[in-house]
């Protein structure tokens, strides 16, 4: 995994550790959920609309785009072009600095971003196949979408396509606990200490 210049020494290895923890939690939740979990290759329900990502997600995506450029320069060029078109459409409404890509710190920004591009396909999505061109490097939000995950309010959120017919208790029994030791927060803090901080969106990162 080749990370963007300026990422703190050691973070790539620790990010891989985080990914392994989260992916293991997802595998466990999927095993418990069985057919209730509708997530399958080609399903792109969670790939429509923008959402907030942190600086660690951004660093991982930049690494992914570099890796994709090495592997398939034409595909990487398409991703960049789609990202630039995406940002061009949103520039006047971007709730932050459109030049740096950093979102405002207002607590309402999360909802603003969700509404801002609710019909926009992620630029990393191959709309013909429903696959993600940067799947290995996808943000944490993408990795935990689908299974029941407890939100900040204490409730369990699930994809609307999943757990149809399941009871509240059955859903709770499949809860995914993606990062029990808060390693992600630690790594984001390390990036902030190195001067990389602030939230953004996927399209801005991939447009660079």
pLDDT tens-digit profile of 133-186? 999 999 999 999 999 999 888 889 889 899 999 999 999 999 999 999 999 999
Backbone torsion region of residue 125, taken as left when φ is above 0, otherwise alpha when ψ lies between -120 and 50, otherwise beta: beta
Cβ within 8 Å of residue 8, ≥6 positions away: 190, 191, 193, 194
Angle CA(104)–CA(109)–CA(115) in degrees, nearest 5?
A: 135
Contact 46, 188 (CB under 8 A): no
Task: Give the residue among 174, 184, 166 at the shortest CA–CA distance from 150.
Answer: 174
Per-residue model confidence (pLDDT) at position 163: 94
CA distance 173 to 175: 6
Confidence tier at 107 by pLDDT (50, 70, 90): confident
Going by the DSSP 8-state scheme, the letter that residue 4 receives in this structure is: P
Q: Taking the complete model, does pTM exceed 0.85, yes or no? A: yes
CA distance 157 to 154: 9
Task: Give the residue among 44, 59, 42 at the shortest CA–CA distance from 7.
Answer: 59
């Amino acid at each position: 995994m080749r990370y963007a210049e300026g990422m703190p020494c050691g973070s790539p290895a620790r990010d891989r550790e985080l990914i392994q923890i989260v992916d293991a939690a997802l595998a466990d939740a999927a095993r418990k959920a069985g057919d209730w979990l509708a997530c399958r290759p080609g399903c792109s329900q969670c790939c429509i609309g923008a959402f907030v990502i942190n600086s660690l997600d951004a660093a991982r995506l930049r690494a992914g785009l570099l890796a994709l450029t090495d592997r398939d320069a034409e595909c990487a060029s398409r991703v960049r072009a789609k990202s630039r078109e995406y940002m061009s459409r949103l520039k006047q409404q971007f709730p932050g600095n459109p030049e740096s890509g950093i979102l405002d710190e207002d607590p309402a920004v999360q909802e603003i971003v969700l509404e801002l591009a609710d019909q926009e396909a992620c630029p990393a999505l191959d709309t013909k196949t429903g696959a993600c061109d940067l799947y290995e490097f996808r943000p944490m939000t993408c990795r935990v979408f689908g299974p029941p995950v407890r939100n900040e309010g204490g409730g369990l959120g699930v994809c609307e396509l999943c757990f149809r017919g399941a009871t509240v208790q059955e859903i709770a029994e499949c809860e995914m606990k993606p990062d029990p030791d808060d390693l992600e927060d630690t790594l984001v803090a390390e990036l902030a200490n190195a001067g990389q901080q602030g939230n953004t969106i996927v399209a801005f990162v991939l447009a660079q």
